[in-house]
Amino acid sequence: WYGFNPGSTLGITANGYGDIAALCAVTTTMAAAAGSISSLFTDTILNYVAEGEAEYDLTMAMNGCLAGLVGITAGCSVVEPWASVIIGLIAGIVYVFSSKLLCILKIDDAVDAIPVHFFNGIWGCIA
């Protein structure tokens, strides 16, 4: 993602592209971190309510990180860093609920590619 988002400026020159590339790197990092945290704790809370037992699922955290990355990609060069945190937080939540939706609908997606890329791609375009 760091090659893609900041690299989409197509160069770092005196024309301000360096500032845009730096903003892309910052917003990408913050959205990924926020997506990881929100998906981990959203899943933990949902499991605690359903089963009465807290369990921290590392796969939710990692896919939440990817969800934050997908969610920020469309707007990484134009959003403020604080907004990238909000986008990442919501992306993590979108991931958890869309993953559970696929289970309810009995759609097999072993690596959760649809919740990460499809649902959060839509969220990223809306955000």
Average pLDDT of adjacent 10-residue blocks, the chain of 127 residues: 75 74 92 97 96 93 96 92 97 96 92 94 94
State the CB neighbour count (10 A cutoff) for residue 21. Answer: 20
Please tell me the predicted confidence (pLDDT) of residue 9.
65
| Chain centroid offset of residue 68 CA | 1
Percent of the chain that is helix, strand, coil (3-state, to 5): 75, 0, 25
Q: How far apart are CA 3 and CA 22, in angstroms?
A: 12
| Chain centroid offset of residue 66 CA | 5
Q: State the pTM of this model.
A: 0.91
Please tell me the predicted confidence (pLDDT) of residue 8.
73
Please tell me the predicted confidence (pLDDT) of residue 73.
92
Please tell me the predicted confidence (pLDDT) of residue 27.
95
Amino acid code (one letter) for 121: G
State the CB neighbour count (10 A cutoff) for residue 46. Answer: 14
